[in-house]
Amino acid sequence: MNINISNTNSDPIYLQIADQIKALILEGKLKEGEMLPSMRNLALELRISFMTTKRAYEELERSGFIESYTGKGSFVKAQNLELLREEQLKAVEALLAEAGDRARKIGLTVDELHELLDLVNGGE
Amino acid sequence: MNEYENAIEISGVTKRYEGFTLDNVSFNVPKGSIMGFIGQNGAGKTTTIRSLLNITNIDEGEIRLLGLEHVKDEFEIKKRLAVVFDELPFHDVFNAADMARIFEGLYPEWDNAAYSAYLERFKLPPKKKIGQYSKGMKMKLQIACALSHNAELLVMDEATTGLDPVVRDEILHIFMEYLQNGERSILMSSHITGDLEKIADSVTFIDKGKILLTGYKDVILETHGILKCGKDELGNIDKADIVSVRLNEFGAEVMLSDRESARYKYGGAVIDTASLDDIMLYYVHKGEMGWS
């Protein structure tokens, strides 16, 4: 399991950790029932405050990705991956719709918008 | 294990000296956490630490350590507490092996195996006289002693100051290891915020004998921000949002205590995140609307 935190990222560190663990779960790299490192161990390894890892795990619990049991540890919860993908897709759609609105305001054509999307995504 | 919520509870502690008053100091160190106690030299850090160890008699206020009263239960507390000062209190003619024999008699939970392991890890020769140790070695020896009797609370006064970055990093890592079981707590004073910026769970700022700010480090870092604007735009900012304002020839920098709401309120303005150093600096000038 890889977690990299950045001090220049404007997201708080606890969110960076929570987001990366979420991504690992969504990508299937962390599987249902798998145990996560203890909050103290994660703090020790990343050399950050225990409060920070605690907040990250609390955030993951709140959003239904993990479950924690006192004395036992934290585990990946069963996920409805289909549903999560659906939600992510909706978020992407909303962002694209907003981009489309703004493009129209300055008179960009749909083709130009496609080109722009290709360009910002590295020409893929 | 022992039931208490805060390893240290200091409330309303006042100590008056000629020319200096430790003024109504209050803060808590939650069990299982590291608190960074930050202030300039002479701000009152050492007086606070000496007060909680009952080396200094306080004039007013209350102190509880490990859930116990700091004067009445002093003997019980001292068995479960370890202190590291910035100057080695051990005599130069002793060696590290002698220290083990001395501490064995003082602390019921003294652990020779743990002590030997720390000496080895710190590469401290046990037979060499302490007088011949370097400054870094002396500090490591003090820390090895402090960590070897299963103390629940470590109190450190400028313990990492003056050490090189490699050694500091090693020591901070060892402190974090020491806290892994969740039953131990650390209060660490320093005028260097860098070390604490990483590992501290909470921080307390002290200046001229008064507490400027205390709380969880992440929350303090997330809520504060520095707004950059022209001097003529200062009037648009609500005084209640301002910690203090620093002026330079070409503009103003405003420390705000609620970054997120400021983003809405002063939309478009540049608001940078602030480091602990920045925050400390602006709190030292709290209320001043034009320091430089």
Between CA B74 and CA B54 the distance in angstroms is 8
Q: How far apart are CA B37 and CA B34, in angstroms?
A: 10
The pLDDT of residue B43 is: 94
What confidence tier does B124 reach under pLDDT thresholds 50, 70, 90?
A: very high
β pairing state of B153-157 and B81-84: parallel
Contacts of B33 in chain A (CB under 8 A): 50-51
pLDDT of residue A1 exceeding 90, the answer is no
| Phi and psi at residue A67, to the nearest 5° | -125, 140
- The structural domains of chain B, ordered by start, are 6-216 (3.40.50.300), 224-284 (no CATH)
Residue B149, both tokens: 């009797």
Judged against a pLDDT cut of 90, whether residue B196 lies above it is answered with no
Which residues make Cβ contacts (< 8 Å) with residue B75, sequence separation at least 6? none
pLDDT in tens, B42-94: 899 999 999 999 999 999 999 999 999 999 999 999 999 999 988 777 888 89
Tell me the backbone φ, ψ of residue B90, rounded to 5 degrees: -90, 155
Q: For the range B228-236, what are the long-range contacts, defined as Cβ-Cβ under 8 Å and sequence gap of 24 or more?
A: B228/B252, B228/B253, B228/B254, B228/B269, B228/B270, B228/B271, B228/B272, B229/B254, B229/B269, B229/B270, B234/B289, B236/B266
Average pLDDT, chain B: 92
Query: How many residues comprise chain B?
Result: 292
| Whether the Cβ atoms of residue B31 and residue B7 lie closer than 8 Å to each other | yes
Pick the residue with more confidence: B11 or A85? B11
Q: Do the Cβ atoms of B201 and A49 come within 8 Å?
A: yes
**Which residues of A are less than 8 Å from B183 in CB distance?**
none
For testing contact with chain B, the best of A10, A49, A58 (most B CBs within 10 A): A49
Per-domain residue ranges for chain A?
Answer: 13-76, 81-120
Q: How many helices (H) and strands (E) does chain B have?
A: 10, 14
Chain segment A33-79, per-residue pLDDT in tens: 999 999 999 999 999 999 999 999 999 999 999 999 988 899 999 87
Contacts of A18 in chain B (CB under 8 A): none
| ipTM for the predicted complex | 0.75
Q: pTM for this structure?
A: 0.83
How many Cα atoms within 13 Å fall on the side-chain side of residue B77?
Answer: 21
Q: What is the pLDDT of residues A25-37, one digit of tens each?
A: 888 889 889 999 9
Question: Best interface-test mutation with B: which of A50, A57, A72 has the largest number of B CBs within 10 A?
Answer: A50
Cross-chain CB nearest to B200 (options A10, A41, A49)? A49
A51–B222 CB contact, under 8 Å: no
Percent pLDDT > 70 in chain B is 99
Report CB contact under 8 Å: A51, B172. no
* Chain B: residues touching A (Cβ < 8 Å): 32-34, 172-173, 176-177, 179-180, 182, 198-202, 216-218, 221-222, 273
Contact A47 B180 (CB under 8 A): no
Band of residue A123 on the pLDDT scale cut at 50, 70, 90: low
* CB within 8 Å: B199 and A41: no
Helix (H) or strand (E) holding B83: strand B81-84
C-beta atoms of B217 and A49 within 8 A: yes
Contact B273 A10 (CB under 8 A): yes
Classify domain A13-76 by CATH architecture: Orthogonal Bundle (1.10)
Of B144, B135, B19, B51, the C-alpha closest to B87 is B135
A124: pLDDT strictly greater than 70: no
How many residues would you count in chain A? Answer: 124
Q: Min CA distance, B19 vs chain A (Å)?
A: 37
Q: Band the pLDDT of B2: cuts 50, 70, 90.
A: low
Sign of CA dihedral B44, B48, B54, B59: positive
Residues of A whose CB is below 8 A from B182: 40
- Answer yes or no: is pLDDT of B154 > 90: yes
Q: Quick check: B69 and B26 in contact, CB under 8 A?
A: no
d(CA B55, CA B182): 28
Instruction: Give the pLDDT mean for B208-237.
Output: 93
B-chain residues within 8 Å CB-CB of A41?
180
Q: Whole-angstrom Cα distance, residue A77 to residue A94?
A: 28
Cβ burial, residue A83 (10 Å; 0-12/13-18/19+):
exposed
Q: What's the mean per-residue pLDDT of chain A?
A: 89
Chain A residues closer than 8 Å to B221 by CB: 12
